[in-house]
Amino acid sequence: MCPCSLDAAEQTAGFPYAVASLLPQSGRMVLIDRVLDAGEGHITVELTVREDGLFSTPDHGVPAWVGLEFMAQAVAAYSGYQRKLRGQAIDLGFLLGTRHYQCSAGSFRCGAKLTIRAEKIIEAANDMVVFDCHLEGDNIQATSKLNLLMPQDSKTFLAGKGV
C-alpha cells in the first residue's frame, strides 16, 4: 500500500473548500487532493498518486494518459469554485477533447506528488472553454490544452439534446 494515501475531502489551510465539495465526482473517482491556489481564470491543485486508485496498475503506477483526467479534474475544481463564489450548485462540464498532450513519463509512480495548474485561455459565448494545463512532479512534466463545454445548466443542455 502506498504510504502517501490521502483523504480526498481534505481541506487546504487557507483555501475555504474541500476538493470533494467542488467536484461533481464522488468517492474514489475524486483523484485530486487539494487546491493550492485559485483565482479568476486559473487554479493550481495537488495530488499524490495512490496505489489504491481506480487507475493503478500492478507495477505500482498509473498510466501517463490519466494525466488528462488529473487536468480535467483541476478544471472541474476551478468551475466548482467559481460556481460556489456565485452561489450556484456544482454542475457537470464536458471534456470535448485535448490538443497536444505531451508527458515526459510513461506512468506516474505511487507516492508521486503532482501539481497541476490550469489557466483559462479562451471562453466563448457558446459555453466553450479552453484551458492550458501543466502537470509537474519530480522529473515529470506534462502539458495539454483541454477543450470543454461548460454549460450554465447541464440538465437543461442535455434535455435539449434528447438525452
Q: Is residue 96 in a domain?
A: yes
CB 34 within 8 A of CB 45: yes
Return per-residue pLDDT of the chain as tens, 163 residues. Answer: 333 333 434 455 578 999 999 999 999 999 999 999 999 999 999 999 999 888 999 999 999 999 999 999 999 999 999 999 999 999 999 999 999 999 999 999 999 999 999 999 999 988 999 999 999 999 999 999 999 998 888 888 888 776 6
Q: Is residue 50 in a domain?
A: yes
CA 123 from centroid of its chain's CA atoms: 18
The per-residue pLDDT for 9 is: 42
Name the residue among 107, 126, 118 with its Cα closest to residue 146: 118
pTM for the model: 0.88
What are the phi and psi torsion angles at 109 (to 5°)? -80, 150
- What span, in angstroms and rounded, lies between the C-alpha atoms of 90 and 17? 13
Q: Report the SS3 class of residue 70.
A: helix
User: HSE on the CB side for 87, CA within 13 Å?
Assistant: 0
Task: Give 97's DSSP letter.
Answer: E
Q: Is residue 5 in a domain?
A: no
Q: Is residue 136 in a domain?
A: yes
Structural domain harbouring 69: 19-159
- What span, in angstroms and rounded, lies between the C-alpha atoms of 151 and 64? 29
